[in-house]
């Protein structure tokens, strides 16, 4: 079978090597499309492939109809909001993700960004410490759980809310469970977002919610830009000079946010899963899932059933 690795943001070289070894070892052919700048490149690359491995690459109805032989697409990563699932079903293509494979990398970045933020972006003036601060984790999935694990090392006071994870599971991992989002924002000095972008969560981080935070509140986003109501967050940051917003996903209104000097930071390009380890974990998991699909019809990680 012909497998296309289509990554506008390429994997580390070692990950590509590992993916190729897995697939070529099972007699599949691997082709690579990296750093493409135009959708037309993707449309011609997909024309004759049976399977694809992608990252945040946008796979819409036009891509599905151009990919006449496509049977499976694996998103090497967690979030699959970049794939048009209705179009995948209409075109009879299995869509899978690789849950958990890059979650440690994202969790580590949370703390890299947080220390940077609470030390005043290394401006030389006295900052503060994470120890003893109340950390709120919004969504207790693979990334949220890793954030909790690392936060324990910083001796933070950790709270979490997840609409789909029972309180007893959260409590069992040594984290205080709260009843809803509002309670989390009200209680915590720092709230770390780990919710996917869905119709329920889009723009859900809004003026009223963030305004519940205590003085000096920090929102850190390593999830998706779509969950932020940017207009309302900008309004709140104008009304409250103590609120900080730190993000790994550049907002649409980046220029507006950049006016909040010392209170806003965005990485230039999403960096959460950009480690050699995360790329290899997610990429090789994707390759193995494709191998299993063609060998035995295995669809354990299917997300478009
Ligand atoms: C994910 O959903 O797995 C992360 O957001 C990483 O995305 P990326 O592969 O585009 O870096």
Task: Kindly give the distance from the C-alpha atom of residue 79 to the centroid of ligand 1, in angstroms, as a whole number.
Answer: 6
Phi and psi for 115 in degrees, rounded to 5?
Answer: -60, -45
What is the assigned CATH class of domain 2-101+275-296?
A: alpha beta
Tell me how far apart the alpha carbons of residues 253 and 221 are, in angstroms, rounded to a whole number. 15
Strand-pairing partners, residue 31, are 4
Tell me how far apart the alpha carbons of residues 71 and 51 are, in angstroms, rounded to a whole number. 6
Ligand 1 lined by 55 (C-beta under 6 Å)? yes
Q: What is the mean pLDDT of the chain?
A: 98
CB 64 within 8 A of CB 85: no
Return the DSSP state at 117: H
Domain residue spans in the chain?
Answer: 2-101+275-296, 124-261
Ligand 1 lined by 283 (C-beta under 6 Å)? no
Strand-pairing partners, residue 52, are 4, 73
Q: Find the largest Cα–Cα distance for the chain.
A: 61
Residues 6-41 pLDDT 10s: 999 999 999 999 999 999 999 999 999 999 999 999
The answer to whether domain 2-101+275-296 and domain 124-261 are alike in fold is: yes
Q: What is the ipTM of this complex?
A: 0.98
Ligand 1 lined by 272 (C-beta under 6 Å)? yes
Pocket test for ligand 1, best of 102, 106, 269, 278 (most atoms within 8 A of CB): 102
Mean pLDDT of 196-203: 97
Model confidence at 113, in pLDDT bands (50, 70, 90)?
very high
What is the atom index within ligand 1 of the atom nearest the CA of 80?
2
Structure tokens at 231: 């207009």
- Residue 130: the pLDDT is 98
* Cβ neighbours of residue 21 closer than 8 Å, sequence gap 6 or more: none
What is the atom index within ligand 1 of the atom nearest the CA of 97?
3
- Residue 16: the pLDDT is 98
Tell me how far apart the alpha carbons of residues 294 and 303 are, in angstroms, rounded to a whole number. 17
Ligand 1 lined by 148 (C-beta under 6 Å)? no
Pocket test for ligand 1, best of 55, 192, 195, 269 (most atoms within 8 A of CB): 55
Structure tokens at 84: 């048009």
Residues 275-296 pLDDT 10s: 999 999 999 999 999 999 999 9
Give the closest residue to 142 by CA, choosing from 12, 272, 293.
272
pTM above 0.80, yes or no: yes
- Ligand 1 atom 10: the closest Cα is on which residue? 56
Model confidence at 164, in pLDDT bands (50, 70, 90)?
very high
Model confidence at 63, in pLDDT bands (50, 70, 90)?
very high
Mean pLDDT of 207-216: 98
CATH-assigned architecture of domain 124-261: 3-Layer(aba) Sandwich (3.40)
Return the DSSP state at 10: P
Phi and psi for 182 in degrees, rounded to 5?
Answer: -60, -45
Model confidence at 86, in pLDDT bands (50, 70, 90)?
very high
């Amino acid at each position: 079978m012909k497998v296309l690795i289509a990554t506008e943001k390429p994997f580390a070289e070692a990950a590509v090597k590992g993916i190729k070894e897995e697939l070529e070892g099972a007699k599949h052919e691997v082709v690579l499309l990296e750093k493409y700048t135009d959708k037309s490149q993707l449309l011609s690359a997909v024309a004759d492939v049976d399977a694809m491995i992608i990252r945040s690459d946008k796979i819409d109805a036009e891509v599905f109809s151009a990919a006449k032989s496509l049977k499976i697409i694996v998103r090497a990563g967690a979030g699959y909001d970049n794939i048009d699932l209705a179009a995948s079903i209409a075109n009879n293509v299995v869509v899978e993700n690789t849950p958990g494979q890059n979650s440690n990398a994202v969790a580590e970045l949370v703390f890299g960004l947080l220390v940077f933020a609470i030390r005043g972006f290394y401006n030389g003036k006295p900052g503060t410490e994470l120890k003893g601060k109340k950390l709120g984790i919004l969504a207790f999935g693979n990334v949220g759980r890793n954030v909790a694990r690392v936060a324990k090392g910083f001796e933070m006071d950790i709270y979490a809310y997840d609409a789909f994870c029972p309180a007893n599971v959260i409590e069992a991992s040594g984290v205080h469970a709260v009843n809803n989002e509002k309670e989390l924002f009200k209680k915590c000095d720092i709230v770390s977002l780990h919710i996917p972008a869905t119709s329920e969560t889009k723009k859900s981080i809004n003026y009223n919610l963030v305004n519940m935070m205590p003085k000096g509140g920090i929102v850190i986003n390593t999830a998706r830009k779509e969950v932020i109501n940017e207009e309302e967050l900008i309004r709140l940051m104008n009304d409250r000079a103590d609120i900080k917003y730190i993000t790994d996903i550049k907002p649409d209104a980046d220029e507006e946010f950049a006016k909040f000097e010392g209170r806003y930071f965005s990485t230039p390009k999403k960096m959460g899963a950009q480690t050699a380890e995360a790329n290899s974990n997610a990429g090789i998991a994707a390759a193995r899932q494709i191998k299993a699909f063609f060998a035995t019809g295995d669809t354990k990680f299917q997300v478009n059933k």
